[in-house]
Amino acid sequence: MSVMGCSTTKPAITSAGNTATASLADANASAETKALFYNLMALSKDHTLFGHQHATEYGHGWSGDADRSDVKSVTGSHPAVIGVDFSGFTGRSDEAIQQEKADVRKTVIDTYDRGGVVTVAWHFSNPVSGGGFYWKDSVSLPGVRYIIPGGSANEKYKEILRGVGEWANNTKGKDGKLVPMIFRPFHEFDGDWFWWGKGHTTRDEFISLWRFTVSYLRDSVGVHNFIYAFSPDNKFNTEEQFLERYPGDEWVDLVGMDNYGDMGRDGYRVEVATNKLKIVSDYAKKAGKLAAFTETGLESIPNPNWWNDVLLKVMKSPGMQLCYVLVWRNDKTSPTHYYAPFPGHSSVPDFMKFYNDPFTLFEKDLKKVYERK
């Protein structure tokens, strides 16, 4: 490809490899969803897709521009993975919810129609108390115990899931197919900052919540275009700790980790970050799952060589197989809250080197990831 004065040719990515031992939590997943799963698994052997949260919805100093992202403004290509959020699907007025669903649907469909991949986070507003998705002392209630089967708010949770399912079942590309999505609910559950976090729910309650969520969406609501992603934060050092709240292989398609702390926020602990991510990757290989670095980044990117000296170094460590890495959002108004470069940023030259490395894949590099060969 020839972009912004740099020229590198990357291979066209088209086919899946030998992934016979892997299977989805949803045996009735759509053909496109299965194709994405197997193609991502094949790609992860030699490549990792680059992702950015809210990349095409807004960026550093702008919002709502058609076919724009800060990454595209720098490289000529959107990220391969676009992160969206179901945060606005609850906890607002009906009118606001419907508008949010329409806006997110457009982002998801546009991404699919371009050939990109969608991952969905869920900063879920507490359905049984105030406080939003964060845990707020004296305000928040430990919502998990209320919304799982047997809880007083389980019917309310079913209603919320029906709303999610109805949205998913009406999100189709221009080809008429349902858009596959990597759905990543209840992330960073090993911390205490969210109401579903470790300090506010037991292990059994969390596992019950996960299994109920998957089974209700899949079996009761008929959602067949989700790939289910399990991703704690970085509070583990062994496979046993990583799997402490794991609901079982039959309930998960992708295992991941969120890690900002070891990647520069709290100091550069590249070896520590690598070891933790290797636990995730090794388990995925053993269990027939996808693996991903589901959230990371360095706010404001003060290190101009962060992309290659830190991130790519972790991604390329021996034996690592990640289907994607996603950095967090670029706020539209904050002068400092951003995680991907924009034109003029000091890390642009290093990011272009990262972009042109054959190991990394951006949207322009993806070919027919929703088709199986």
Closest CA to 273 of 324, 330, 320: 320
User: Rounded CA gap, 293 and 255, in Å?
Assistant: 9
**Could you tell me which residues come within 8 angstroms of residue 93 by beta carbon, excluding any fewer than 6 positions away?**
none
105 CB-side CA count, 13 A: 19
Decide if 275 contacts 305 (C-beta within 8 A): no
Which residue is catalytic, options 57, 188, 205, 363? 188
At 121, give phi and psi (nearest 5°).
-90, 165
Q: Indicate the SS3 state at residue 52.
A: strand
Catalytic residue among 57, 100, 295, 363: 295
Whether residue 188 lies in the annotated active site: yes
Give me the sign of the Cα torsion angle 134, 135, 136, 138: positive
Quick check: 276 and 258 in contact, CB under 8 A? no
Residue 155 annotated to the active site: no
**Share in percent of the chain as helix, strand, coil (round to 5):** 35, 15, 50
Residue with tokens 């991510």: 277
Q: 178 φ, ψ to 5°?
A: -65, 140
**Exposed / middle / buried, residue 294 (Cβ in 10 Å: 0-12, 13-18, 19+):** buried
Gap between the Cα atoms of 178 and 351, Å rounded: 33
CA dihedral 342, 343, 346, 351 (to 10 degrees): 70
In the chain, count H helices and then E strands: 11, 13
* Active site positions, annotated: 188, 295
